[in-house]
Amino acid sequence: MRKVFTTLAAVAAATLLTAGHASAAGTQVYKGTGWQLESSMTASGDGIHSLNKNATYTITFADSAARKTLEYYYKPLADWMTKQTGVKFTVSATNLPEPTACSTAPIHTIVIGLKTRPMKDKGMSHTSPCYDTRDDTAYGAWIDMDKEYWDHPGWFSGTGKNTTLDFAMIWNANAHELGHAIGLDHPNTRDSKGVVKPFDCVKNSAGWRPLMCSPNGGPTNKTGVNYTAYDIAGIKQLVANYTLPAPAKAKPKVKAGQPAGVTALPARVSD
């Protein structure tokens, strides 16, 4: 079993947000059956709590090679996300260089690159999500998809054929990383140190784990956008949280001039 890596990504605080989305009953929720938000794992509660309903999240690619391979997946993913959330996700035709820090990343933009072993580890992709320290909304992200999935037919099945399973797993890997980009964490059971126990997730009646389970879950018998009902509950909560007040312990802490961190989590291991 391969190690799970975490890295830090940071976002700079800019100006104070005018308050104004605290009205509905109850408070924000960060965890449920088969889903959890990345912010639920930070001691301070900082991190992505919600999707900004007033934003348009723009997906784009780091270069033409990444676009050529990946646009095929992210256009349907963007459409699906828009439909499910009511928040606009769009794919831009203009490539952008991959950010190296949240403090200099373009707002509400998800830049996707294609690299061989971006984590230096076989079969692992990676996402660095950023959050807006003014209100803990999803700020944007950059994603590095592992090029090996495409370079080696049968990467997931090991058969050398582009089977439904292989294609489904490629879809799931992309959807999994997009899930991280908007704030979803692995819903796995964790050990006493908070490290995920691989594959240790709830299953539905068909036997599928949440797509956000680590290593990637989701159905493997169909291709396309495969988020499960577990993942969808988390995605919908990211929207609901936007108009709910944060619990007292998870109030955004504005740190003027001082970047805050959010844990970025990796995707799929190949074995």
Residues within the interface to Zn ion (CB under 5 A): 214, 265, 267
**CB of residue 151 to Zn ion, shortest distance in Å:** 21
Nearer to Zn ion by Cβ, of 235 and 267: the residue is 267
Distance CA(132)–CA(22), nearest Å, equals: 17
What would the two tokens of residue 268 be? 């799929």
Question: Would you tell me how many other CB atoms lie within 10 Å of the CB of residue 221?
Answer: 11
**What contacts 70, CB < 8 A, 6 or more positions away?**
61, 112, 114, 145, 174
Nearer to Zn ion by Cβ, of 168 and 265: the residue is 265
Distance CA(127)–CA(130), nearest Å, equals: 10
**CB of residue 174 to Zn ion, shortest distance in Å:** 12
Nearer to Zn ion by Cβ, of 36 and 137: the residue is 36
**CB of residue 251 to Zn ion, shortest distance in Å:** 27
Q: Amino acid identity, residue 71?
A: E
**CB of residue 191 to Zn ion, shortest distance in Å:** 17
Distance CA(195)–CA(95), nearest Å, equals: 35
Nearer to Zn ion by Cβ, of 119 and 267: the residue is 267
Nearer to Zn ion by Cβ, of 217 and 252: the residue is 217
265 class by beta-carbon count within 10 Å (0-12 exposed, 13-18 middle, 19+ buried)? buried
**CB of residue 29 to Zn ion, shortest distance in Å:** 21
Q: Nearest residue to Zn ion, using CB? A: 267
